[in-house]
Amino acid sequence: MHITYEALEHKPGLGQTLKEWIFTIDHKRIGILYLIGSMAAFAVAGLMALLIRIELSSVGPTITSNPGTYNVWLYFHGAAMILAFQIPALTGFLANYLVPLMIGAKDMAFPRLNALSLWLYWMGIIVALLTFVIPDSPDIMWTGYPPYSLKTGGNTAFYVFTVHLMGFSSIVGGINLITTILYMRAPGLTWNKLNIFVWSTLGAFILQMIFIPVLAAAVTTLLFDKYLGTHFYDPSAGGDVLLYQNLFWFYSHPAVYVILLPTIGIIFDIVATFARNRVFNYKMVVYGGIGGVVLMSGEVWIHHLFTSGMPDWIRIGMMISTLLISIPVGLLMIGLLGTLYRGAIQYTTPMLYAVGFIFLFLIGGLTGIPNAMTAIDLYIHDTHFVVAHFHYVMAVASTFAIFGSIYYLFPKMSGKMYSETLGKIGFFILFAGVNITFFTMFIIGFKGMPRRYYDYQQFAHLEGLQRIATIGAFIIGLGALVVLISWIHGLVAGKKAPDNPWGSKSIEWMTSTPPPPGNFSQIPVLSGEWHPYGYGRKE
């Protein structure tokens, strides 16, 4: 059943609108549905984080006297934040919404597969949320290490199926996106004129296609072991407990770069737009930075297993390879700073988030270095130091990039402008909150407190620091609330947005706001002069 364009002008009825949303195969709407799912996941998992923080605010039981409850919260927090919030927000929402627009395509290569990818993701959310319904909630943390995940009374199957559904969704999405980028670029859009974000998404999906299957196999073997009685992880029958950790991190380390790449890609686009400047040393950023990360990400996974009893030589080897990852990432940072150089920086809300990203990512990335040094990691592994490291890079820096990009795309998606005042207030509250919470965690970890502790009698002297972290978490919650309010305010009361409020040169802003079905009333014609970052140049 097709409706015509005129019918659209005449405001379709509610039923029709609903149908056009849930049965949609349009990449922009699919992107927005991804966004809704990931924000819901962020809210629920964030509330779990608050519960975790309250529980840790005092020694001994605080709001629950059952450690099992805490473990379920933490399981859900970690798994949902990574699988249901961050990866889908970046490779689902952002990539879906932006890539076809940025390359001047009318849609993805396979619009129906795109919808399948979306709905598989939502089914994954449903299975994840069932954690709170079933009597035997999973409590195996987001890493699901056997033999604990096999011995526990918790429902390991739901963990496995969440991973399966999300993973299958990503693979379908990856096939779609890579094909789209390879074959559907607008005429005249050569490889050296692609937005950095498109490049970084391509890199991220190459990683997804190669590594997700390994994770899928790893969790499938868990399922077989626990419910069909095989012996992959049963040492008494010839299995090997370390096998799982290797398979798991073989995916899950690259997964952090699946998060990092689109994050830094969109930051490049935001910074270039608001510094009104070209991207510094474009080829270095693309081939050295993004290419380097893609190439190196697959050979460092042992740094999560420094204390797991792997042979010594491999711990040393992967210490070196891990340290070397700072080279491509450092090149990306230089590209970012170079883009500021001789720019004309406008401090809008998205730009503030991008600036925040630079500082927060520096802290997070540089504290990856001690983790990477095997000898130092023997002490700080599985302490809150590591927790602080990955919250800085992932939970904070990447989330800032996601929030920033939502502000950046807000006019394009909704056709309305958000309020800069509310946006900036939200930013500063968040910035304060995350530093209070997570910097304190570095100290807590440095003093030796292990992670995944419900109670810390052994470390009772850290209670004061834990309190500070808890207060910080509530400030983050407040900030998130302001952010949410600013979006709702923008949707309800925002001024009408022009087609290109940021004066960007990139293709996604050439179409009307919000973009019509099919994106462009005319396929953009790109002159030889044109460049997405062609600022400060006469055309």
Partner 1 sequence: MNGHTSEHQLHWETSPWPLVLSIGILFLLPFAFSFYFVYSKPVMAVLSLGIGVPLTVLAIAGWISEGVGQKDEPGFSIAAMPLFIVAEAFIFVAFFVAYWVMRLGAPFWPPAGTPEISTGVPIIMTIILVSSSFTIHFGEVKMERGDKGGFLTWLVVTIILGTLFLVLSMTEYSHLFAEGFNFKTNSYSTAFFSITSFHASHVLVGIGMFICILIPALMGKMSKSFVKAASMYWHFVDIIWFFVVTQVYFWWAL
Partner 2 sequence: MSKRYLRVLSISLLFFPITTPLLAYEKRRGPEEVPDVPGGWDHLFNEMLIDITIVGIIFAAITIYLLIKYRQRYPGQEGSPLKLTTAAAIGWALIPAFVFMADDFYLAAEGWTLFNDYRRVPENAYEVKVEGSMWSWHFIYPEGVETFNELRVPAGTPVVVRMTSKDVIHSFFLPDFRVKEDMMPGRVTYLWFYPKDPGEHLITCAEYCGLMHSGMKGKIMAMPKDDFNNWIETEKKNSHT
Binding residues for ligand HEA, per CB under 6 A?
Answer: 39, 42-43, 46-47, 49-50, 52-53, 74, 77-78, 81-82, 85-86, 141-143, 256, 259-260, 303-304, 322, 325-326, 329-330, 333, 362, 365-366, 368-369, 371-372, 377, 381, 386-387, 389-391, 393-395, 398-399, 437, 451-453, 473, 476-477, 480-481, 483-484
Is residue 188 close enough to count as binding partner 1 by CB under 8 A? no
Residues 453-492 interacting with partner 2 (rule: CB under 8 A): 453-458
**Identity of the residue, 253 or 412, whose beta carbon is nearer to Cu ion in the bound complex:** 253
Is residue 1 close enough to count as binding partner 1 by CB under 8 A? yes
- From the list Cu ion, partner 1, ligand HEA, none, partner contacted by residue 279 (C-beta under 5 to 8 A by kind): none
- From the list ligand HEA, partner 2, Cu ion, none, partner contacted by residue 476 (C-beta under 5 to 8 A by kind): ligand HEA
CB-side neighbour CA atoms (13 Å) of 6: 0
State the minimum distance, in angstroms, from the CB of residue 4 to partner 2: 41
Separation between Cα atoms, residue 276 and residue 269, nearest integer Å: 10
Is residue 171 close enough to count as binding partner 1 by CB under 8 A? yes
Is residue 420 close enough to count as binding partner 1 by CB under 8 A? no
Q: Indicate which single residue of 146, 174, 262, 479 sits in contact with partner 1 (rule: CB under 8 A).
A: 174
- From the list ligand HEA, partner 2, partner 1, none, partner contacted by residue 276 (C-beta under 5 to 8 A by kind): partner 2
In the beta sheet, which residues pair with residue 416? 496
Site pattern 318..347 for partner 2 (x: CB under 8 A): -xx--xx-xx--xx-xx--xx-xxxxxxxx
- From the list ligand HEA, partner 2, partner 1, none, partner contacted by residue 105 (C-beta under 5 to 8 A by kind): partner 1
The residue number with the shortest CB distance to ligand HEA is 46
Buried b or exposed e, range 189-225, using 16+ CB within 10 angstroms: beeebbbbbbbbbbbbbbbbebbbebbbebbebbbeb
Separation between Cα atoms, residue 450 and residue 386, nearest integer Å: 9
Residues 195-234 interacting with partner 2 (rule: CB under 8 A): none
State the minimum distance, in angstroms, from the CB of residue 424 to ligand HEA: 16
What is the SS3 assignment for 496? strand
Is residue 243 close enough to count as binding partner 1 by CB under 8 A? yes
Q: Are 169 and 114 in contact (CB under 8 A)?
A: no
* Terminal CA-CA length for the chain: 45
Q: How many CB atoms lie within 10 A of CB 342?
A: 11
Helix 111-129 to helix 27-56 angle (10° resolution) is: 20
Q: Indicate which single residue of 3, 126, 151, 182 sits in contact with partner 2 (rule: CB under 8 A).
A: 151
In the beta sheet, which residues pair with residue 450? 383
State the minimum distance, in angstroms, from the CB of residue 481 to ligand HEA: 4
- Longest CA–CA span in the chain (Å) reads 73
Site pattern 39..68 for partner 2 (x: CB under 8 A): ----------------------------xx
State the minimum distance, in angstroms, from the CB of residue 154 to partner 1: 10
H helices of 184-325, in order, are 196-223, 241-274, 282-283, 291-296, 312-324
- From the list ligand HEA, partner 1, partner 2, none, partner contacted by residue 259 (C-beta under 5 to 8 A by kind): ligand HEA
Residues 337-366 interacting with partner 1 (rule: CB under 8 A): none
Separation between Cα atoms, residue 437 and residue 393, nearest integer Å: 14
Checking phi first, is residue 394 left (phi over 0); if not, alpha (psi -120 to 50) or beta? alpha
In a 10 Å sphere around its CB, with 0-12 CB exposed, 13-18 middle and 19+ buried, how is residue 519 labelled?
buried
Picking from 228, 509, 256, 528, the residue whose alpha carbon sits closest to that of residue 393 is: 256
Is residue 216 close enough to count as binding partner 1 by CB under 8 A? yes
